Structures are given as C-alpha cells and as structure tokens.
C-alpha cells in the first residue's frame, strides 16, 4: 500500500498477533518482520528484521492478560527500536489500553497510573496513539501527542440489529455506563434501564436496585469491559429475578480475569458478545454462549485514514 511515494508497515508484539494479522489482511499488507522474545532473566528483546527508514509504522499491542506489564514493555522497547531505526512516524495501536481504570486519585496517595503509562509511550518515541473505548475518555488528554479514539459500539449494535430481538431494553450495568447505554439504545431503537449498584471494594459489586421497566423484556447489558464478571453476573441475576426474559451481554474489552469464565458459564446469559481487542483464553473461547466479533476492519480503516491524512472521527458520524 503506497501513497504519494510514502510507505506503510504494520508490526506486532506478542499480545494479539491474530488481530494484527487480520488488520494487515484488511490493508492488503504482510505483517512486519520482527521478533519479540524474553531472555531467561526476564529481559525483553526486540529485533526489527527489515528496513523502516522513513516508513509510516503502526505497532499493534494491547496491555492485557496474561502478561500486562510485559506487553507494555514490549511496546515501549519496539517503539524505541523503530525510532532508532529512523522510522518516519510511529503510531502505537493499542486496542485495549491497560491501566485505564487508574485514571484519577480515588483516595489519598493513589497513583494515576493511566497518566504514567501515557508518559512512557510518549517518552519511548511514539508520534501518535490509536485506541478503542478508553475506560475514561479524559485519558486522551494524558498524552502530549495526538490520540485517535475509536468506538466499538457500532460493531456491537450492527450485530444485535441483525438479530431483530423483540421487546428489547438496553441495560446500563452501573451509573457510569448510562451515556454509553443510552447511545447504544438509540442505535437499536430500544428503551433503557439502569442497574444501581455499589462497589464496597475492587472487583466486588452489590446490586441495589433496577431503574426502569424490564419485566417480560429481552435485555442487553452493555459495558466497555468485563473483568472478573461479577458486575455482569450479579446484574443478570437481578434482572432475571425481576422478570426479564432472555438476557444478552456485550462489551468491547473482554479482560476476563480470575473466576470470569466459570461465572459466565453458569450466569444464565443467553449470549455474550465481545470484540477481539484482547486475545481471549482457550477457556473463554470454549464457552457455548460467547460470540467474538473482530475489530480488524475498523482499525484497518482508521490506519488507512491516518496514513492518507483523512479524518478518523467521520467514521462514527452516522
């Protein structure tokens, strides 16, 4: 793929190579020739095995299980290697931005780790960041370089529109998800309900009340991410107890840590739809009620637009 005499290359670290290959397939490009390995003492080594001088380079890497911190270091070291090899412009393509939940000081002496990670990416030499559904949108402002923020909800909405589910209500699993859920309900022409919960400690949630009419309705729970699945599973139980019929769930980022697979298996969720910003474990892929949709076409189109200096935001205007 060439434009005005400039070249584009896509590389990947180890977090989600299948997604990187799918993005390359959409662009009609081979995946860049590189090797990312770990020495016996735990140090990470990166080898770029082709010239990148003057090239517009995109590095695909999420910060996710099972090696969140290693994957972050892989990205930083690869960016440094590309910078020292005279790459023209380096874009960090981070489908899932880990540490995004540590975006503010919730109590005294808390770190703001999302800002620290942004500083590290900039210091390593990235010229731009391309990501999807940040947990907190203000993280875009933590970077001193341009950030293109993609949306996963149009992919999810298109899937559910094709299913033509009747008597549908979109449910926000907590108050922080209301805006996202309202936008999603508009796309599906559905009503909205809200789960009122409290979180006494990290990764623990308690359902207090359901705001809205869900009796004898089919419902879709939507969130930006599912981690241990406690919030979603508790919400499903509450919705079922109040008379909801089939309960679907969807999210952009399937973190699925700890007991998530076991919880989802026995949750009563009819179908859980997740995007492939994170490479799912074999245990999660084996679940009968999980459906994985690819973000490769969206990221490929965004990369194409960045390369051609076209607008990325217009991708989501309709």
Give which of 131, 189, 135 is closest to 157, Cα–Cα: 189
Domains present along the chain, CATH in parentheses: 2-151+296-316 (3.40.50.2020), 153-293 (3.40.50.2020)
- Does 91 appear as a known binding residue? no
Give just the sign of the alpha carbon dihedral 116, 278, 189, 187: positive
Report the alpha-carbon distance of residue 164 to residue 318 in Å, rounded.
Answer: 20
* pLDDT (mean) for 215-225: 95
| Per-residue model confidence (pLDDT) at position 204 | 55
Q: Residue 195's CB: how many other CB atoms inside 10 A?
A: 26
* pLDDT tens, position by position, 84-130: 999 999 999 999 999 999 999 989 999 999 999 999 999 999 999 99
3-state secondary structure labels for all residues of the chain: CEECCEEEEEEECCCCHHHHHHHHHHHCCCECCEEEEECCCCCEEEEECCCCECCEEEEECCCCCCCHHHHHHHHHHHHHHHHHCCECEEEEEECCCCCCCCCCCCCCCCCCHHHHHHHHHHHHCCCEEEEECCCCHHHHHHCCCCEEEECCHHHHHHHHHHHCCCCEEEEECCHHHHHHHHHHHHHHCCEEEEEEEEEEECCEEEEEEEECCCCCCEEEEEEEEECCCHHHHHHHHHHHHCCCCCEEEEEEEECCCCCHHHHHHCCCCCEEEEEECCCCCHHHHCCCCEEEECCHHHHHHHHHHHHCCCCCHHHHCC
Return the pLDDT at 103: 96
**pLDDT (0 to 100) of residue 201:** 63
Output the CA torsion sign for 248, 258, 76, 33: negative
User: Whose CA is closest to 131, among 177, 97, 102, 99?
Assistant: 97
pLDDT of residue 160: 97
152 is in an annotated binding site: no
301 in a labelled binding site: no
How much is the pLDDT for 5? Answer: 41
What are the φ and ψ backbone dihedral angles of 299, each rounded to 5 degrees?
A: -65, -35
Residues taking part in catalysis: 197
Using CA atoms, how far apart are residues 48 and 75, in angstroms rounded to an integer?
Answer: 13
Instruction: Give the pLDDT score at 316.
Output: 86
| pLDDT of 4 | 39
Does residue 224 have a known ligand-binding role? no
- What is the structure's pLDDT at 6? 79
187-217 pLDDT tens trace: 999 999 998 866 556 655 565 688 999 999 9
Cα 181 from Cα 172, distance rounded (Å): 5
Q: Phi, psi (5° rounding) for residue 11?
A: -115, 165
Q: Is 223 among the annotated ligand-binding positions?
A: yes
Whether the pLDDT of residue 74 is over 70: the answer is yes
Q: Mean pLDDT in the chain?
A: 93
199 is in an annotated binding site: yes
Position 3 scores a pLDDT of: 39
Answer yes or no: is 43 a known binding residue.
Answer: yes
Q: Could you tell me how far CA 76 lies from the centroid of its own chain?
A: 19
Tell whether 38 is in a known binding site. Answer: no
pLDDT digits over 23-53, tens only?
Answer: 999 999 999 999 999 999 999 999 999 999 9
- Position 207 scores a pLDDT of 58
174 a known binding residue?
yes
**pLDDT (average), residues 63-68:** 94
Q: In what order do the strands lie in the sheet with 2-3?
A: 2-3, 6-12, 56-60, 89-94, 128-132, 147-150
Annotated binding-site residue? 41: yes
- Confidence (pLDDT) at 90: 97
CB of 99 within 8 A of CB of 112?
no
Helix axes 68-84, 113-124, angle to 10 degrees: 30
pLDDT in tens, 154-185: 999 999 999 999 999 999 988 888 999 999 99
- pLDDT given for residue 177 in this prediction: 86
| Res 11: pLDDT | 98
Q: Give the tokens for residue 166.
A: 């009747």
């Amino acid at each position: 793929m060439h434009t005005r005499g400039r070249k584009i290359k896509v590389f990947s670290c180890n977090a989600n190579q299948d997604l990187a290959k799918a993005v390359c397939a959409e662009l009609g490009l081979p995946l860049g020739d590189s090797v990312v390995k770990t020495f016996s003492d735990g140090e990470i080594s990166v080898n770029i095995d082709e010239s990148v001088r003057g090239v517009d380079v995109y590095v695909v890497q999420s910060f996710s299980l099972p090696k969140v911190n290693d994957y972050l270091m892989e990205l930083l070291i690869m960016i440094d290697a590309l910078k020292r090899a005279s790459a023209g412009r380096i874009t960090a393509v981070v489908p899932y931005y880990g540490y995004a939940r540590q975006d503010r000081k919730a109590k005294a002496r808390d770190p703001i780790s999302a800002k620290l990670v942004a500083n590290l990416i900039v210091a390593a030499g990235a010229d731009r960041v391309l990501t999807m559904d940040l947990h907190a949108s203000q993280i875009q402002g933590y970077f001193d370089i341009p950030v293109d923020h993609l949306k996963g909800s149009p992919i999810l909405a298109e899937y559910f529109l094709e299913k033509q589910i009747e008597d549908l209500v979109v449910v926000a699993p907590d108050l922080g998800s209301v805006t996202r859920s309202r936008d999603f309900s508009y796309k599906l022409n559905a009503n909205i309900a809200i789960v009122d919960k409290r979180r006494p400690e990290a990764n623990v949630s308690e359902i207090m009340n359901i705001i809205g009419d869900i009796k004898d309705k089919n419902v879709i729970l939507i969130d930006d991410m599912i981690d241990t699945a406690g919030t979603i599973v508790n919400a499903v139980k509450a919705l079922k107890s109040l008379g909801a019929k089939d309960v679907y769930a969807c999210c952009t980022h399937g973190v699925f840590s700890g007991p998530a697979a076991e919880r989802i298996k026995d949750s009563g969720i009819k179908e859980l739809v997740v995007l492939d910003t994170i490479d799912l474990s074999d245990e999660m892929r084996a679940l009968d009620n999980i459906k994985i949709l690819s973000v490769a076409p969206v990221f490929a189109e965004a990369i194409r637009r960045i390369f051609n200096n076209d607008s990325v935001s217009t991708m989501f205007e309709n």
